[in-house]
Structure 1
Amino acid sequence: MKKNLFIGIGLVVFIAVVFMVIQNQTKSMDVIGYKIEDTTYKEMISSIGSVEYDKMVEIKAEVSGTIKDIYGEVGTKVKTGDLLAKIDDRMARIELEELETNSNVAKARYEDYKKSYSQNEQAIHDQRVLQENEIATLELERSQLHTKIQETKTLVEAGALPPKDLTNLNEQLAALEIKIQSAYDRLESLRSPVNADQELKASIEAADAKVNKQKMLLDKYTVKAPMDGVVIERLVELGTFVQAGEAIMKIASDNHKYAVVDIDEKYLNFVVVGKEAQITTEAYPDDVVKGTVVFISPEVDKDSGTVRVKVKINEKTDLFLQNMSVKVEFVGQVYEQAIVIPGEYLINDETPAVYIKDENGKVVKQKIVVANKNSKNIMVLKGLSAGMVILHPEKLEEGMEVNVTLSEESEKGL
């Protein structure tokens, strides 16, 4: 009895399942369709490249020294003459003070000479002796300082003393050399009264020339922007010691920006100077910016078979940064009365195909021949004609019964 009961229940379940399967097979699925119309198709030539600014310059130090101040982070906009960096100018200022002292001394001596023109050779001799004694004292000091520098250098190289100690001694030596040279200049100014007047005047001119030259040199310790632009790269930081000629930072003029791409040489007949292009970035793919071709390289890269093309970015330049990756598209061949379908309707098979609805209302696969399988909009060369409706392939399989609703893009056209 129980056995018959179990058989009965199993039979009921089986009938229910069969009924549900039949119901699912006979139920129509709602799908989106696209009605094909003849249209004009523009083949797009695209390439990935990068952004270049109009002009980029390296800001270089004109003198050696330690960076005392530095201004402008990467991305900061600057104006012509804006302060970019300061190099420590303490030694240069010390030298200027010495030179100004020498100039003042030369002028004072000339004034004294004019007042005491009648001084005899003995007086001049006495001054020379004093000056020579001063020089001897300074040279002795220099000799002792040289010895100390050598000893300190050995200790620094051995790691016993910090490099700063050696730097300080070298700075003292440089200042001492200036004093010795000044002493020699003063000694040279002591001449016989016969030619003293002319020589003293010449010494004043020479001293003033050195002062003016040193003032011009001091200006180079202040680094200023040579043009309007934006800081692209900072190559040194506060406290860095730079040599004369060493790059401190890079500045680019952002008045104009360009997208630079390499185009396959077979498309050269479609890309000419003055042609419009569309430019997008990975960061803002929905922002399409117009550009204009301004330069085409006169040579083909023999390895890649491409030609370098430069496109001026016409608008929204704030979206584009130096070296940013960009996609540039040009209109190539134009086809009239073409069969064009949205790329999303293509079935992801090895052989291009789409789904259509047959006369029985069921889904069938239609093989096609296309010109550009991976494009957003695909031109069909064979297999479809105007008036046909293709089905969106999501969740579809052959044999399904479907109800088709045309998409909005089908109504508006591509």
Structure 2
Amino acid sequence: MNRILLPVYFCAALLSACAGPTENSKEISQELFLTDSLKSVVSVDTVHLYDVTDELTLNGRVTFNQEQVARVFPIFGGTVTDVYAEIGDHVRKGDVLATIRSGEVADFEKQKKEAEQQLIIARRNLQSVQDMFTSGMASERDVLQARQELNNAEAEEKRITEIFSIYHLAGQSLYQVKAPVSGFIVEKNINKEMQIRSDQNDEMFILSGLENVWVMADVYESDISKVHENAPVRITTLAYPDRTFTGKIDKVYNMLNDESKTMNVRVKLTNEDYLLKPGMFTNVYVQNRVSGKQLPRIDSHALVFENGKNYVVTVDTGNKLSIKEVEVYRQLSKDCYLSSGVSEGERILNKNVLLVYNALNAD
């Protein structure tokens, strides 16, 4: 029993201290002031007028920004000798993800050696023909032909060198699979000693940056008229219940899914500290403006509902606390619009309001 009543005693003692010296509890209920000690447990907000908005709640999910997704396919068939990256790892562009031993790479290495040898022979041949031309033993045509052979040998050697650079051929019949972009490994379909083919359809790795993510939300057919591009949205997640992410609808997919009979809308978000993970479920609140009407808007936490009526606790210029009945015009998940009871510029409590309300209502 003592454990149950302790919070009540604590609140009464706190409010008594905040109210200053009084003779009895009835006097506390009649006059209560916002003192410095009370400010430490409550929060005060100023009422402002806003355009009335309606809010549509949608189910959404975090997905990768498809503009930042890179898929890595095998260039050559062969055997995987080493894998250096796992799902969830962050890699930088150019980091080696795996190495593969391939017979096709061995063929390119053979071509490279042949091209280098042909280049040496062509250079020597041109030098020899030029010497013979100087002594009158070769014609100008012979010199031109030798120079053309050298040009062909240089072109072939350059082609093979570029292939080695493009495909990251590392010698000893190995080629390196490197990250084409910086980002996170989001899918991996390769393991050590695995046999792969150059014509397989499965990606070895899928990489994506998480600096920006997409939130895809489902819109039922009855709500399609309520969403449009550039509509402001609020987004909440189970992982961060006290945090709200804001953005705008940047794309409306004007087609219905055959199975779910819903239309998708997309919101692009900057993902600071990688808080949003692909696959997370979200609530997406789409705001729709109702033109021509402005009303006082307050935080929903400022409302106290009792006996079918709504109340707020106001703070006057002398820091005196009072209870006012208000009429709610529209209740949203985070805010609500009032049709009467308070005016623009008034100050109200929006944290631990029930504690103060109960003290002011005490008999």
Q: Normalising by structure 2, what TM-score?
A: 0.53
CA gap of 1:200–1:42, structure 2 versus 1, over 3 A, is: closer
Q: How far apart are the structure 1 equivalents of 2:86 and 2:356?
A: 48
Q: Select which of 154, 158, 161 maps to 1:215.
A: 161
Asked if 2 retains the 8 angstrom alpha-carbon contact of 1:99 and 1:211, the reply is: yes
Segment of structure 1 superposing worse, 198-207 or 304-313: 198-207
Q: How far apart are the structure 2 equivalents of 1:107 and 1:195?
A: 17
Q: How far apart are the structure 2 equivalents of 1:228 and 1:97?
A: 34
TM-fit CA distance, 1:209: 1.7
Match of 1:51, SS state, is strand
Match of 1:367 in 2: none
Match of 1:278 in 2: 234
Match of 1:254, SS state, is coil
TM-fit CA distance, 1:308: 0.9
Match of 2:149 in 1: 203
Q: Select which of 58, 61, 67 maps to 2:74.
A: 61
Superposition pairs of residues 186-197 of structure 1, within 5 angstroms: 197=143
Asked if 2 retains the 8 angstrom alpha-carbon contact of 1:275 and 1:292, the reply is: yes
CA gap of 1:258–1:225, structure 2 versus 1, over 3 A, is: same
Match of 1:78 in 2: 91
Q: Within the alignment, does 1:267 sit opposite 2:223 as a pair?
A: yes
Q: Normalising by structure 1, what TM-score?
A: 0.47
Q: How far apart are the structure 2 equivalents of 1:106 and 1:70?
A: 42
TM-fit CA distance, 1:293: 1.5
Q: How far apart are the structure 2 equivalents of 1:81 and 1:411?
A: 64
Asked if 1 retains the 8 angstrom alpha-carbon contact of 2:133 and 2:143, the reply is: no
Match of 1:49 in 2: 60
TM-fit CA distance, 1:106: 3.0
TM-fit CA distance, 1:53: 2.3
Match of 2:164, SS state, is helix
TM-fit CA distance, 1:66: 3.8
User: Which structure's residues are more often strand, by fraction?
Assistant: 2
Q: How far apart are the structure 2 equivalents of 1:79 and 1:272?
A: 37
Superposition pairs of residues 337-348 of structure 1, within 5 angstroms: none
Q: How far apart are the structure 2 equivalents of 1:230 and 1:214?
A: 32
Match of 2:41 in 1: none
Match of 2:235, SS state, is strand
TM-fit CA distance, 1:226: 3.2
Q: How far apart are the structure 2 equivalents of 1:61 and 1:269?
A: 46
CA gap of 1:193–1:409, structure 2 versus 1, over 3 A, is: farther
Q: How far apart are the structure 2 equivalents of 1:303 and 1:235?
A: 29
Mark the runs of 5 or more structure 1 residues left unpaired by the alignment. 1-29, 31-39, 119-191, 343-353, 357-370, 380-385, 387-405
Superposition pairs of residues 157-306 of structure 1, within 5 angstroms: 197-219=143-165, 220=167, 221=169, 222-244=176-198, 247-301=203-257, 304-306=260-262
Match of 1:103 in 2: 119
TM-fit CA distance, 1:197: 4.4
Asked if 2 retains the 8 angstrom alpha-carbon contact of 1:277 and 1:330, the reply is: yes
Q: How far apart are the structure 2 equivalents of 1:202 and 1:236?
A: 46
Q: Within the alignment, does 1:309 sit opposite 2:259 as a pair?
A: no
Q: How far apart are the structure 2 equivalents of 1:233 and 1:99?
A: 39
CA gap of 1:258–1:408, structure 2 versus 1, over 3 A, is: farther
Q: How far apart are the structure 1 equivalents of 2:62 and 2:79?
A: 34
**Per-residue Cα deviation, 1:216-274 (whole angstroms, up to 9, x for no partner):** 11111344433332222122233444444653211113231111011123223432323
Of the two, which has the highest radius of gyration? Answer: 1
Match of 1:297, SS state, is strand
Q: How far apart are the structure 2 equivalents of 1:261 and 1:409?
A: 40
> Identity over aligned residues, as a percent?
18
Q: How far apart are the structure 1 equivalents of 2:219 and 2:279?
A: 18
Match of 1:319 in 2: 275
CA gap of 1:110–1:268, structure 2 versus 1, over 3 A, is: same
Alignment RMSD: 4.5
Mark the runs of 5 or more structure 2 residues left unpaired by the alignment. 1-7, 9-49, 170-175, 309-329, 342-352
Asked if 2 retains the 8 angstrom alpha-carbon contact of 1:263 and 1:306, the reply is: yes
**Per-residue Cα deviation, 1:184-209 (whole angstroms, up to 9, x for no partner):** xxxxxxxx999754443333222222
Superposition pairs of residues 372-411 of structure 1, within 5 angstroms: 407-408=354-355
Match of 1:216, SS state, is helix
Match of 1:150 in 2: none
Q: How far apart are the structure 2 equivalents of 1:264 and 1:47?
A: 9
Q: How far apart are the structure 2 equivalents of 1:50 and 1:245?
A: 33
Q: How far apart are the structure 1 equivalents of 2:132 and 2:94?
A: 51
Q: How far apart are the structure 2 equivalents of 1:333 and 1:113?
A: 85
Asked if 2 retains the 8 angstrom alpha-carbon contact of 1:280 and 1:287, the reply is: yes
CA gap of 1:376–1:116, structure 2 versus 1, over 3 A, is: closer
Segment of structure 1 superposing worse, 318-327 or 221-230: 221-230
Task: Choose between structure 1 and 2 for higher RCO, CA contacts under 8 A separated by at least 6 residues.
Answer: 1
